Amino acid sequence: MKVVAIISQKGGVGKTTIAVHLAVAAVQAGYTVALVDLDPQATAAQWSDWRGGENPAVVAAPHARLTPTLKEAAESGVDLVIIDSPPAADSAAVAAAKAADLVIIPTRASAFDLHAIRTTADLVKVASKPGFALLNAVPPRATALIEEVATVIYSLGLSLVPLCLVERAAFRHAVLNGQTASEFDSDSKAATEVQNLYKWMCGQLHMSERPPVAQSKKAHA
């Protein structure tokens, strides 16, 4: 079982949006996925209520229950767990980072967000886990801005996901309907960006973009 933690001290950077999109992308590929919502606001759990059904399974849990929750997921045959953490560099974020095989740190391209990412970068270093900053809600055609932000991120000793998510209406509309961009409009640029992010994630986790046929059949049995 692979574990990905979405962490950022700053609120409003799109952690939950990214978490649900990666979870659904993995489900669509044939994996059994659980999304663990550590945020007391339970935004991911609310999205699941809007969505209906249990695919992906969303579990709202306090960070003190993270270890047994992950143990239960592994015993249930879950292939991938996405952890949506609260917007603070507190014990919940530390627990998520320590449990993860990969940490994704969403950030917007603004001075306030980049200042906040410094604390998150320190947290990831303490956890000794691979952490990658992900530029989210980037204005269209903002090549120069992306280059400026990348320089700041590298100066903090963080790696940068080699792609970004652009500010697109499809993300907002989809989430409000309990969907993801690919479900709302499979031909949208937002859907393509998420698919590319999913493929990148799989590469970092040394995980096939699709599970073996036998495993896939079992997941849908």
Q: DSSP H helical segments within the chain, as ranges?
A: 15-29, 43-51, 66-75, 91-99, 111-127, 143-155, 169-176, 181-184, 189-204, 213-220
Number of H helices, E strands in the chain: 10, 7
209-218, long-range: CB within 8 Å, 24+ apart, which pairs? 209/29, 210/29, 210/30, 211/29, 211/30, 211/31, 211/79, 215/30, 215/79, 216/30, 218/77
Find out whether 81 and 108 touch, Cβ atoms under 8 Å: no
State how far the Cα of 95 lies from the Cα of 89, in Å rounded to an integer: 10
Beta-ladder partners of 90: none
Domains and CATH numbers, the chain: 2-208 (3.40.50.300)
Whether the predicted pLDDT of 219 surpasses 90: no
The predicted model gives 136-165 an average pLDDT of 87
pLDDT in tens, 170-217: 998 999 889 999 999 999 999 999 999 999 999 999 999 999 875 544
pTM: 0.91
State how far the Cα of 212 lies from the Cα of 208, in Å rounded to an integer: 8
Return the closest-CA partner of residue 45 out of 60, 30, 34. Answer: 60
Whether the predicted pLDDT of 119 surpasses 90: no
Confidence of residue 61 (pLDDT cuts 50, 70, 90): very high
Whether the predicted pLDDT of 102 surpasses 60: yes
- 12 token code pair: 């409003």
Parallel/antiparallel/unpaired status of strands 131-135 and 80-84: unpaired
The predicted model gives 87-115 an average pLDDT of 86
Q: Which of 23-37, 51-65, 139-153 has the lowest mean pLDDT?
A: 139-153
pLDDT in tens, 68-79: 999 999 999 999
Find out whether 103 and 124 touch, Cβ atoms under 8 Å: yes
